[in-house]
Amino acid sequence: MEKKLYSRRKFLKMSAFGLGGLIVTERTYDFFKESTVEGKIVIVGGGAAGITMAAYLVDKLRNPDITIIEPNEIHHYQPGYTMIAGGVFKPDEILKPNKDLIPRGVTWLKDKVMELNPDNNSLETENSGKVNYDYLVLVPGCQLNYNLIEGIDPNRLGEGNVHSIYTHEGSKKCYEALKKMPDLKNGNFVFTDTYTKLKCGGAPKKICLMAENYLRDHDAREDKSFSYYANGTKLQTPKIHGDRLVEIYNERNVEIHYKHRLVSVDTSQQKAVFELLPEETQAATPTDANYEKIEVPFDFLHIVPPMSAPDFVKNSPLTITEGSLRHDGWVDSNEFTLIHNRYPNIISFGDVAGLPTSKTGAAIRIQAPVAAANLVSLMEGKEPKKSYNGYSACPIVTEYGKVLMVEFVYGEKVKPYSYTKKVKPTIPFLDPAMERSMWWILKKHGLKPMYYQGMLKGLM
């Protein structure tokens, strides 16, 4: 039954697209909407997850009462940051006004949430005071904690040639630096990641390989050394992709150092200090113990900020309270239904959720329709029917023109909030551990339009 309605909905949308809405009017379209259930839905965060969720809900509810709380005017297509840093995308081509993306029929409250009160079904905003809800969709993404690296001020990225592509400004400055790299003599290029869960864990590896490739293309690689300092014991999971990536790093003469955590940076002296982590130290555990430290001089340093849920989530009763993820305030969502484990009228996914998968837009593409269907079931007083399979993906740019496509779903449950990753290629007959030009074409030309025209409109 559900399948039939779904394809009819798709057919109607496509008809509306193709014929400019001449044949299928909105009234006819409304008639086919799936549920007549009512209730006030508040979505916190109008990023990739928030807008996609709103689009699916508008589609499913005949009388939607949906408010998105989002403070920013401009939406960023964040996967484009890497491409800006590499000089492939122009900085402005990944920005769009939220007013053009938030679906029709959804109220936009341009404000910032300061406090969550899930026991009272309400939240506090910075300027509009208290907002009540019947159902809460909590999707405010990650908070970037650059301040946890001593000596780093996120507003002064670029100074001392210290870069980070995790912000729009940062990615622009990185490209400006990249263009000057060929002129540098005997440069020491240092790249690192972070110890917390992070969005797009592939991004620091991509910028490392793109920078290396840029120098080779400009006949300026010979006198430079490249090294990557990883917090963990692997460069990438699943193993099949990690093994190939290590081979690529070896082929390209990029040294890999495992179990190194960046603790401070002296931008004026261009020196980074790393803590050497004992083998048993878990990622995601803050350390202030007196582990041995080493000083690494650099001419170019790329850093990743430690990440957490935003403070207002971290300070709420909604977070994971056990295991290694308890430090960073990730939301305690069920890994399959995406419904909060203790508050059944709250659904949370995307970067803020403590799901045992990787934080990517690709994951949100699969999570949002599950979350929307389950929310409607909850509103109708039914059991949630849809289940998320843990799908996430990361197109790792290995050089200009090639991408290693990493795709996986949940494998075995290892412990609470932790699963192994099972390789799940979209095209099963292609060797997933091989970097390919077709994935580069997809990354460069396909994924951005698919994001704006497909995912954010709830069409894929």
Residue 139 contacts ligand FAD per CB under 6 A? yes
Among 41, 44, 101, 309, binds ligand FAD (CB under 6 A): 44
Based on CB atoms, which residue is closest to ligand FAD, 163 or 359? Answer: 359
Residue 318 contacts ligand FAD per CB under 6 A? no
Name the minimum Å distance from CB 41 to ligand FAD: 15
Residue 46 contacts ligand FAD per CB under 6 A? yes
By CB under 6 A, the count of residues binding ligand FAD is 37
Based on CB atoms, which residue is closest to ligand FAD, 294 or 438? Answer: 438
Residue 182 contacts ligand FAD per CB under 6 A? no
Residue 43 contacts ligand FAD per CB under 6 A? no
Among 395, 407, 419, 433, binds ligand FAD (CB under 6 A): 395
**Mask for 320-359, x = binds ligand FAD (CB under 6 A):** ------------------------------xxx------x
Residue 362 contacts ligand FAD per CB under 6 A? yes
Name the minimum Å distance from CB 202 to ligand FAD: 7
Selected catalytic residue, list 142, 174, 208, 394: 394
3-state secondary structure the chain: CHHHHHHHHHHHHHHHHHCCCCCCCHHHHHHCCCECCCCEEEEECCCHHHHHHHHHHHHHECCCEEEEECCCCEEECCCHHHHHHCCCCCHHHHEEEHHHHCCCCEEEECCCEEEEEHHHCEEEECCCCEEECCEEEECCCCEECHHHCECCCHHHCCHHHEECCCCHHHHHHHHHHHHHHHHCCCCEEEEECCCCCCECCCHHHHHHHHHHHHHHHCCCCCCCEEEEECCCCCCCCCHHHHHHHHHHHHHCCEEEECCEEEEEEECCCCEEEEEECCCCCCCCCCCCCCCCEEEEECCEEECCCCEECCHHHHCCCCECCCCHHHHCCCECECCCCCEECCCCCEEECHHHECCCCCECHHHHHHHHHHHHHHHHHHHCCCCCCCCCCCCEEEEEEEECCEEEEEEEEEEEEEECCEEEEEECCCCCCCCCCCCEHHHHHHHHHHHHHHHHHHHHHCCC
Name the minimum Å distance from CB 426 to ligand FAD: 13
Longest CA–CA span in the chain (Å) reads 70
Residue 113 contacts ligand FAD per CB under 6 A? yes
Among 39, 50, 305, 356, binds ligand FAD (CB under 6 A): 50
Name the minimum Å distance from CB 139 to ligand FAD: 5
Among 24, 41, 43, 49, binds ligand FAD (CB under 6 A): 49
Among 9, 54, 66, 82, binds ligand FAD (CB under 6 A): 82
Give the footprint of ligand FAD on residues 83-112 (CB under 6 A).
112
**Residue whose C-beta lies closest to ligand FAD:** 47
- Closest by alpha carbon to 35, among 54, 7, 57? 57
Is residue 394 part of the annotated active site? The answer reads: yes
Give the footprint of ligand FAD on residues 266-285 (CB under 6 A).
none
Interface segment toward ligand FAD; rule CB under 6 A; list 16-24, 75-83, 180-188, 369-377: 75-83
- Closest by alpha carbon to 379, among 403, 353, 344, 351? 344
Among 135, 166, 343, 410, binds ligand FAD (CB under 6 A): 166
The Cα–Cα gap between 311 and 142 comes to: 10
Query: How big is the chain, counted in residues?
Result: 460
Based on CB atoms, which residue is closest to ligand FAD, 142 or 284? Answer: 142
Based on CB atoms, which residue is closest to ligand FAD, 78 or 161? Answer: 78
Give the footprint of ligand FAD on residues 400-459 (CB under 6 A).
none
- Closest by alpha carbon to 231, among 200, 191, 203, 265? 191
Based on CB atoms, which residue is closest to ligand FAD, 64 or 361? Answer: 361
Residue 230 contacts ligand FAD per CB under 6 A? no
Contact present, 361 and 330 (Cβ < 8 Å): no
Contact residues for ligand FAD, defined by CB under 6 A: 44-50, 69-72, 78-79, 81-82, 112-113, 139-141, 165-166, 199-200, 203, 310, 312, 350-352, 359-362, 364, 394-395
Which of the residues are catalytic?
200, 394
